[in-house]
């Protein structure tokens, strides 16, 4: 949309009757920035290449990546929060690289990276029930309780029908300058917002699912640096889980030794 500037619109800025200047329609509102406090630290499997993280009924469900030839491999697991102990586990076939997960209607949904396949498991025992095919890459996955929301490494999030995996609509995510926010990775639904890790950064962005507008940026750079300084195998920040009942937020990363409960606060 073209902007109307004073020099091309026939004169200087006008003022409203109360004497206040009319706001410049071309002004971009800054996106709020947030930091955090660490509430509690939990153990995390340092061999888990975390691709998806969900809190459900007092436990974590975690999707991990890797292929059979790697030192780590893809799995879906149920994890005890306080100890990090794996309570249940399903290993993917060696030719699949696991990605984001979410839980809906007593089912666990798991994406794969470049295999164009989503798996659906029984929540009770993690046994495979069905699979779907999709185009493009699979990165992050979450749900609002009705639809699934999937990222693919671009600035576009797909809203999917959980029964068919059909795309119902797309959400284009741009920053305050109108530039695409690329490499949206692991996703989590938090109080009506989509929270997304930006791959290879210490940033989580908060997204309005109605229009893709950025609602905030959470800077987790310090916790990434702290983990990587103590763990030379630690990879990027990746993993967001939200406990709606107690309003708790958890984050971790690939091959991290720790998982953190955090409280987000304005910078």
pLDDT tens for residues 117-161? 999 999 999 999 999 999 999 999 999 999 999 999 999 999 999
- The answer as to whether 10 is a domain residue is no
4 falls within a domain = no
Convert the pLDDT of each residue in 180-220 to its tens digit: 999 999 999 999 999 999 999 999 999 999 999 999 999 99
Q: Is residue 18 part of a domain?
A: no
Strand partners, 184: 198
153 assigned to some structural domain: yes
> Does 124 map to a domain?
yes
The count of structural domains within the chain is 1
**Token pair 């409280």: residue:** 263
| CATH number of the domain where residue 34 is located | 2.120.10.30
Angle at 63 between CA 57 and CA 68, to 5 degrees: 150
- With 0-12 / 13-18 / 19 or more C-beta atoms within 10 angstroms meaning exposed / middle / buried, residue 91 is middle
d(CA 162, CA 104): 8
For residue 163, is it within any domain? yes
| pTM (two decimals) | 0.88
Q: How many residues does the chain have?
A: 267
Sheet holding 117-122, edge to edge: 98-104, 107-112, 117-122, 128-133
Which residue range is the domain that position 118 belongs to? 29-266
Residue with tokens 């030192």: 71
């Amino acid at each position: 949309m073209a902007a109307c500037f004073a020099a091309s619109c026939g004169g200087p800025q006008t003022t409203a009757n109360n004497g206040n200047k009319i706001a410049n329609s071309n002004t971009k509102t800054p996106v709020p920035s947030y930091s955090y406090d660490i509430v509690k630290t939990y153990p995390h499997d340092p061999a888990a290449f975390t691709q998806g993280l969900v809190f459900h009924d007092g436990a974590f469900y975690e999707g991990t990546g890797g292929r059979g030839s790697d030192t780590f491999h893809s799995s879906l697991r149920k994890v005890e929060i306080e100890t990090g102990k794996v309570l249940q586990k399903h290993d993917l076939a060696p030719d699949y690289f696991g990605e984001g997960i979410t839980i809906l209607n007593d089912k666990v949904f798991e994406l794969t990276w470049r295999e164009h396949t989503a798996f659906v498991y029984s929540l009770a025992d993690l046994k495979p029930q069905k699979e779907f095919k999709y185009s493009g890459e699979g990165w992050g996955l979450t749900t609002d309780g009705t639809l699934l929301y999937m990222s693919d490494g671009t600035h576009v999030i797909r809203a999917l029908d959980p029964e068919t995996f059909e795309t119902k609509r797309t959400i284009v995510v741009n920053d305050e300058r109108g530039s695409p926010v690329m490499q949206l990775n692991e996703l989590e639904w938090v109080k009506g917002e989509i929270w997304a890790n930006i791959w290879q950064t210490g940033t989580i962005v908060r997204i309005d699912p109605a229009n893709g507008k950025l609602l905030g940026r959470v800077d987790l750079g310090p916790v990434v640096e702290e983990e990587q300084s103590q763990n030379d195998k630690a990879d990027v920040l990746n993993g967001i889980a939200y406990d709606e009942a107690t309003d708790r937020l958890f984050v971790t990363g690939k091959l991290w030794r720790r998982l953190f409960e955090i409280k987000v606060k304005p910078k």
